[in-house]
């Protein structure tokens, strides 16, 4: 088994976040908004995990990933606190889209979630590029 560094793990998770974003775009273009919501959320989720990997952290529960990212990166304003609203909203929409019968998210809310995921991923990429150079 090859030696995997925390930078490798972070890059893998970042790549996975990018794949989720591509999938979300494809789903929204196909009119599959529930799937687009799910993929946009997972883009954000895997991007958070990419950042936390550099701290040597991982969690089994989504709520733990969100709370640790919030504590370490939003409350300290390493990332804009505005992303807290995006993360909370993405989690709520994803849960409702995935688990509630008859839940319908508006097209505009799905488009807004996707735009937020794109922005978040862009900021995470910039942050990680700087971090990788210091490892």
Q: What is the CATH number of the domain that holds 102?
A: 1.20.120.330
Q: Is residue 1 part of a domain?
A: no
Res. 114: pLDDT tops 90? yes
Average pLDDT of the segment spanning 29-47: 97
Task: Summarize pLDDT for 44-93 with one digit per residue, the tens.
Answer: 999 999 999 999 999 999 999 999 999 999 999 999 999 999 999 999 99
Question: Apex CA 58: angle with CA 55 and CA 60, to 5°?
Answer: 165
Q: Is residue 48 part of a domain?
A: yes
User: In total, how many domains does the chain have?
Assistant: 1
Contact 75, 134 (CB under 8 A): no
Q: Is residue 41 part of a domain?
A: yes
Predicted pLDDT of residue 1: 45
Predicted pLDDT of residue 2: 61
Spatial CA neighbour of 90 closest among 111, 113, 112, 123: 113
Q: Is residue 21 part of a domain?
A: yes
Between residues 102 and 86, which one has the greater pLDDT?
86
Res. 37: pLDDT tops 80? yes
Average pLDDT of the segment spanning 34-41: 96
- What range defines the domain where residue 29 resides? 6-134
Q: Is residue 114 part of a domain?
A: yes
**pTM of the predicted model as reported, rounded to 2 decimal places:** 0.95
Euclidean distance between CA atoms 1 and 19, whole angstroms? 25
């Amino acid at each position: 088994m090859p030696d995997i560094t925390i930078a490798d793990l972070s890059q893998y998770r970042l790549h996975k976040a990018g794949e989720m974003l591509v999938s979300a775009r494809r789903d929204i273009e196909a009119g599959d908004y529930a799937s687009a919501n799910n993929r946009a959320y997972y883009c954000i989720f895997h991007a958070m995990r990419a950042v936390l990997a550099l701290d040597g952290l991982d969690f089994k529960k989504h709520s733990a990933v969100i709370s640790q990212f919030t504590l370490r990166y939003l409350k300290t304003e390493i990332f804009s606190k505005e992303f807290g609203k995006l993360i909370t909203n993405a989690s709520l929409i994803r849960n409702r889209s995935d688990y509630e019968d008859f839940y319908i998210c508006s097209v505009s809310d799905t488009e807004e979630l996707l735009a937020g995921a794109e922005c978040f991923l862009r900021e995470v990429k910039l942050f990680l590029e700087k971090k990788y150079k210091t490892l």
